[in-house]
Structure 1
Amino acid sequence: MKYRYIYFDNDNQKIRWTQSAPENLAPSYNYIGESSRVEFDLLIELLWYKYEDANIDINELKKIYIELRTFCDSIKESFNL
């Protein structure tokens, strides 16, 4: 399973899932965490469900990411993955 980095640009409200090093991104991108493609898609789905077209606060995004990360890790542990 490939894990990549999640970055968020709070000013422009853009989120990226990339393997790029932080120095290759604009300084406005903040590191959020790591995820697989499926986990990232689920994060986007959760954000869309909660915020639709409204702005997302970076602290709220980090909170949702941590909750999702904990949930996904608990599922993997229950299946011994």
Structure 2
Amino acid sequence: MAGRSPSDIDCRIAARVGAARAEAGLKQCDLAQALGVSPAQFQKYEKGQNRISAGALQVLADRIGQPITAFFDTAEGC
């Protein structure tokens, strides 16, 4: 399914990832390293330009100290 654009839910998750990271006082580069991706790739996740996997969301939730469901609790989008 290469080439598919992020959906509305992907955009809402992306916005919540960025907000949760900022609220936790973490830098993009720190979370990028935790995921094993470049800071540029992590920025694309936060902007909703690239989809983020469920496994990566779990790693982020653990690092941020929130349940994975926190990424699904917002209506914000890109």
TM-score for the superposition, normalised by structure 1: 0.33
Instruction: Give the structure with the larger strand fraction.
Output: 1
Structure (1 or 2) with the greater helix fraction = 2
Q: Over alpha carbons, which structure has the higher Rg?
A: 1
Of the two structures, which has the highest relative contact order with CA contacts closer than 8 Å and spacing of 6 or more?
A: 2
